Structure 1
């Protein structure tokens, strides 16, 4: 019978330990609400003893998110009375609160960090659990640096705190030292002893990613009896981060033949959660990051695109819809093949090309792709129209669409503290338009000027800058997400001038809106020589 794996999310505690990722109270509550929607079983909301602000945030999460019994709210304490009191006073407002405490068990921690004997540390842990149990029924005990601990001392500690009343035992690979096979064996031995002592106590793991094995170690622990996993969204956390929640969950779901377990996670909320965490913490997700990276479901290789269009299973083991995306993304680049280009043209209404015509259009596509890196739908309209003009053939479209798209001709941006302003020159067909605007900052001014010129108003939802290369001539990539009439549009652009890249991304997204306005009007086009 398939068993349940509890998901303990520590994005708001371990994840927040990333330099520069500090969240305010409002942001913590918003992320916690989304984590609840995602379906995590336990939220670790912070470290309340660290500051008054964190105490208030944990308390707010307990009150506003933990107001139902279907989710447990906890926070971290060291094994000292003051920390335990702080956690209790913050989480007690939740319907289902828990105290989580941590104390080292490795020789390095016992001897060098605490300068105490092993027996003294063990007794401190037992006393802390006994005290916490007078406050709340649910208490988790974490044996810090377990992966570098002497096994018998580790077990002696776990046995003692279980007898003292701990209801969950968490075994952390605190510095990412573990290796899946050895880690799995350790968890197997602990699980065997714990179940014989008290099978109601959950065994949990908390794996760090210093050697890139956090997800693998977490999955090895599950195979060997772990009941609960501690993860973070996007794998963020101290140093190299933690096991990524989305990777662990989707691995369990996709490889059910191996693990035979289930979680309560609503996987369709994974991308929404990832984007919210990334936005609030100001931490970009690595583009090739599994599950939540921009390229996780994007395909640009012609061989891959051809295989996917023939059968999704050829190169897709996780469906993008399962994690909350609309569909896979076929990115048209110079590496794209004829099948992908023909499929994209077909979706725009261009079908049944003669072989000679398609080859001419494909040649135009490759020329543009070599210079532009990525080809958008509005570019395809222009490519088709240019082909018929060059070949001096009749365009089968009754209307010329290429003159409806916008092209950036020039821009000037002035950035200062008083009046940030921008001027743009934009071409549409044969017409040239100019506009200037001021804004709260240079990007706001630039986008206001473009909106005034194009006459298409959008709501900017997300704006991201990332570096594509290094050095003085480094390319900067800008990705934006906007909303127009209830629909979301995403576009990106790259340039050595980040302001120009910002403008190009905005123009690309405006042209995507124009394409969306054209498409419903298009009928199937029968193209003949």
Structure 2
């Protein structure tokens, strides 16, 4: 359980009171102070020496009350690299075990993120071997997840993010995407992730309901279309072996399974398979007629659900279907 504190004793005291009910070993105080030139001059009105002194004082105070202290250098990626290293070194010297390097305004690019973490690791770790570097990325340029993964390549071993990527302005890094990227591409990143990924969809949907926000259907990992397949060639491959078009199992993130969307891009084989699942064995000319009616209706309304498909099959069976342009299909609702 972590409480975020500005770099002053009053905030740290409030954090201590807030976390008092938690077991001592589960309490973290997360202290932050801006370090970039624009923040130093416009917001803090502090010199570099004043910033360093404040970091040392506040982190030392937090470390006297908490066994676990994290320090964040706000707006790290617009901070001079040399001064950023000084600031984080001061925090480590004062007792911070986790050093957070936040891209507060979503300014960085992946290569910059990788280089910055590698640079800081090379300077600070020789004196603080057990320190953990942390990434905290915002999504103003749409690079939060990419920057977080690049940070791992540069030596970060903690990533801060949010389910569904919620957060200030354009949001934070989508933690569900990061978890599955690290797990799916373990061959590249070489790290393990302890998160229980099977709860990701449920967590996403719960947060969606609480915040009354809409999740895009094509949202990676947790969107309704993340494991949906419509194109005929994709559906055919999926029927042969799901690994042809899925690099993750939907069950591993909390979905019940893959979903075939029947629409204008679907092939005859997929339509026949879905009809069979609904209790209708279609072969030869009957399948051809149903598929023709299916294509016509899909052009009109897009996705064909089970009720629509059943209506098409019924119409063809009754002799009123085929592919005539004036054909209409009665559906429930």
Which TM class, normalised by the smaller chain length? Answer: over 0.9
- Mapped to 2, the partners of 1:224 and 1:160 lie a distance apart of 21
CA-CA distance at 1:407 after TM superposition? 3.0
Deviation at 1:368, TM superposition (A): 2.2
**CA–CA distance in structure 1, aligned partners of residues 317 and 62 of structure 2:** 78
- Structure 1 residues 396-446: Cα deviation after superposition (integer angstroms, max 9, x where no partner): xxxxxxxxx9733xxxxxxxxxxxxxxxxxxxxxxxxxxxxxxxxxxxxxx
Q: Where does residue 310 of structure 2 map in the other structure?
A: 381
* Deviations, residues 180-216 of structure 1 (Å, cap 9, x unaligned): 1111011011112222111222111101111111111
TM-score normalised by length of structure 1: 0.59
Whole-Å separation in 2 of the counterparts to 1:377 and 1:248: 35
1:220-369 equivalence runs, <5 A: 220-351=150-281, 353-369=282-298
Distance 1:354 1:172 in 2: 60
Bigger drift between 370-379 and 315-324 goes to 370-379
- Are 1:106 and 2:31 counterparts? no
Q: Secondary structure at the match of 1:197?
A: coil
1:89 equivalent to 2:17? Answer: yes
Q: Deviations over 1:230-258 (max 9, x none)?
A: 01001111111111111111001111110
Q: Measure how far apart 1:388 and its partner are.
A: 1.4
Q: Partner residue of 2:327?
A: none
Uncovered stretches (5+) of structure 2, i.e. residues with no partner: 322-329
Aligned partners of 1:242 and 1:407: how far apart in 2?
A: 42
Root-mean-square deviation over aligned CA pairs: 1.5
**Secondary structure at the counterpart of residue 99 of structure 1:** strand
Q: What TM-score comes out, normalization by structure 2 length? A: 0.93
By relative contact order (CA 8 Å, sep 6+), the higher-ranking structure is 1
- Which stretches in structure 1 are left out of the alignment for 5+ residues? 1-72, 393-404, 409-529
Do 2:307 and 2:331's aligned partners in 1 also have CA atoms closer than 8 Å?
Answer: no
Q: In proportion to residue count, which structure has more helix? A: 2
CA contact (8 A) 2:262 2:303 kept: yes
Partner SS state of residue 196, structure 1: coil
Question: Would the aligned equivalents of 2:230 and 2:263 in 1 still touch at CA under 8 Å?
Answer: yes
Distance in 2, matches of 1:168 and 1:354, equals 64
Shift of 1:311: 2.2
Please give the per-residue CA displacement for 1:29-49, whole angstroms capped at 9, x wherever unaligned: xxxxxxxxxxxxxxxxxxxxx
Question: Which structure is higher in strand share?
Answer: 1
Distance 2:108 2:223 in 1: 25
2:143 pairs with one of 202, 213, 229: 213
